[in-house]
A and B are shown apart, each in its own frame.
Chain A
Amino acid sequence: MTYLIRIFFAATLAVSGLSHAYLYVHGYQHIPMIGSAFVTQAGTSLALAVLILAGGPGWLRWAAAVMSGGALVAFALSRTVGLFGFSERGWQPSPHAVISVAAELLTVGLWLAWVMLNRQPLRRRNKNVTLRRRLANPGANEKSSVR
């Protein structure tokens, strides 16, 4: 299951990264600030995709969620009040806007699923650590539990 989530994470990040890279190469590089933001998003997404697929630590998934969430916020701003003086309408440029937003929503969704899946084992793991410590040093644990 975790392996599958890793693959999906990598796939959604790669799609979002490649979509931004395509737009950067095909014109967005000329838009002040937005061009830099696009190439940063693309490079970071692709790096996170590779490292998550390679079995990197959990904080990489958090970083992926933060970046995808940030990209979604930036998308929303560019369709409303503007972002660094840049604004676009609806789902333009088509189909890249739809593809990126879908990929980023999926990344955030996968992160949520991964967090939910890991909540139970984490609690169990903490319980196991406490139990091990109690067994190793019963007196000290009693004291700390009274406190």
Chain B
Amino acid sequence: MTDSPHSMSRRQVIRHGAWFGAAVGLAVAGGEVISHAAGTAQAKQIPSRPTLRFAQVSDSHIGFTGKANPDVVGSFSQAIGRINNLGHAPDFVIHTGDLTHLATPAQFDQVKQMMGALHTPHVFTVPGEHDSIDDAGQKYLSAFGRGTRGDGWYSFDIAGVHVIALVNTLNLKKLGHLGVEQLDFLAADVAPLPSDTPVIVFSHIPLFAMYPDWGWATDDATQALSYLRRFSSVTCLNGHVHQVFAKTEGNVTFYSGTTTAYPLPHPGDGPAPKPLTLPAGKLHDALGIREVSYVRGHQALALKENTLQ
């Protein structure tokens, strides 16, 4: 055993084993201490419950019929059930667009009825491009546009948080587009707010350049974000891309949510973002809802992704 200059004696093996054990033990202990510190730091600031809790659901595509998900109504019902069983009633639920697949009155009616089963005081929506296929969003506005401004945008305040819903799907060329009127609304809307107000922005198409070649960006988002840069915490939530994705740019964090209908490929995988048919039993891993909570005094929102599995 000791003939070769590279071979180890039994004593050396034991010694190295001890060092390895110490390395693993210390790494685990270190990780535990850090996790505990994170838990304690959070517990210090968290009162009995977060200041604001809401759920995001997206891209239900009611009316879609295809191999990628032959039962979008069933999976959307499952998503609603998941929200209703979070263990608390969310302060509101936001649907970030593509409620329907073909924007027919029957599909709008069906999705509206289904969302009526949500155990929450408020349901908010923004339209996706599938909700405004042939009429620039008129049927969407008839069904969900009450209390909104312009082409369906609006804002509200809840638990000290300013929430803004933007519409970037009605004047699509290749990328999402907000337009001058909506940008003016946004500038005026945030102007009176103090800079320490937490801001949450909803839109269907991402406000960041996730993958412009597939239209996964908004061409005038830079202008919109320039009005929000002064705020210490800005969280932008979107749908459209049918997958979870996160990105930070300074004080602005972007989170793309997944879908309840069918997955799309990762950016650049293949020529176009076409519905993916997953192997049997895997679809519900790719579908889900998002739980979001905000604690006063925290900069970041806490997000929890829940699959429909």
Contacts and interface: CB of A to CB of B under 8 A. Distances in A.
Contact of A82 (B26, B245, B303, B305): B245
A132 to B, nearest CB: 10
Given A30-B302, A43-B31, A51 B19 contact: yes
Interface in B1-49: 5, 15-16, 19, 22-32, 34-35, 37-38, 41
Given A27-B299, A92-B250, A125 B19 contact: no
Nearest to A31: B246
Contact of B245 (A43, A63, A85, A92): A85
B184 interface: no
| Most-contacted residue by chain B among A43, A57, A59, A129 (CB, 10 A) | A43
Given A47-B26, A57-B19, A24 B247 contact: no
Interface in A56-70: 56-57, 59-60, 63
A141 interface: no
Given A25-B41, A42-B30, A87 B250 contact: no
B34 A43 contact: yes
B23 A57 contact: no
Contacts of A44: 23, 27, 30-31
Interface string B244-279: 111111100000100000000001000000000000
B23 A47 contact: yes
Nearest to B33: A43
A89 B34 contact: no
B31 A42 contact: yes
B125 interface: no
Nearest to A63: B23
Interface residues of B, number: 37
B34 A87 contact: no
A59 B18 CA distance: 13
Contacts of A25: 34, 37-38, 41
- Count class of interface residues, chain A: 35 or more
B136 interface: no
A51 B300 contact: no
B244 A51 contact: no
Contact of B34 (A24, A34, A93): A24
A87 B38 contact: no
A109 interface: no
B22 A51 contact: yes
Contacts of A88: 247-249
Contacts of A129: 5
A35 B250 CA distance: 18
B243 interface: yes
Interface in A120-138: 125-126, 129-130
A6 to B, nearest CB: 14
Given A25-B38, A126-B5, A93 B248 contact: yes
A42 B249 CA distance: 23
A56 B246 CA distance: 39
A16 to B, nearest CB: 13
A92 B30 contact: no
Nearest to A54: B22
A87 B246 contact: yes
A46 B26 contact: yes
B249 A86 contact: no
A47 B5 contact: no
A48 interface: yes
A125 B5 CA distance: 9
Contacts of A93: 248
Interface of B: 5, 15-16, 19, 22-32, 34-35, 37-38, 41, 243-250, 256, 267, 299-305
5 contacts: A21-B34, A43-B26, A43-B34, A57-B15, A92-B250
Given A29-B38, A31-B246, A47-B24, 17 more contacts: A30-B300, A39-B34, A43-B29, A43-B32, A44-B31, A47-B22, A50-B26, A51-B22, A57-B16, A82-B247, A82-B267, A85-B245, A87-B246, A88-B247, A88-B248, A88-B249, A92-B249
Give the 7 A-B residue pairs with the shortest CB-CB distance, closest first.
A43-B31, A47-B26, A43-B30, A27-B300, A47-B27, A87-B247, A25-B38
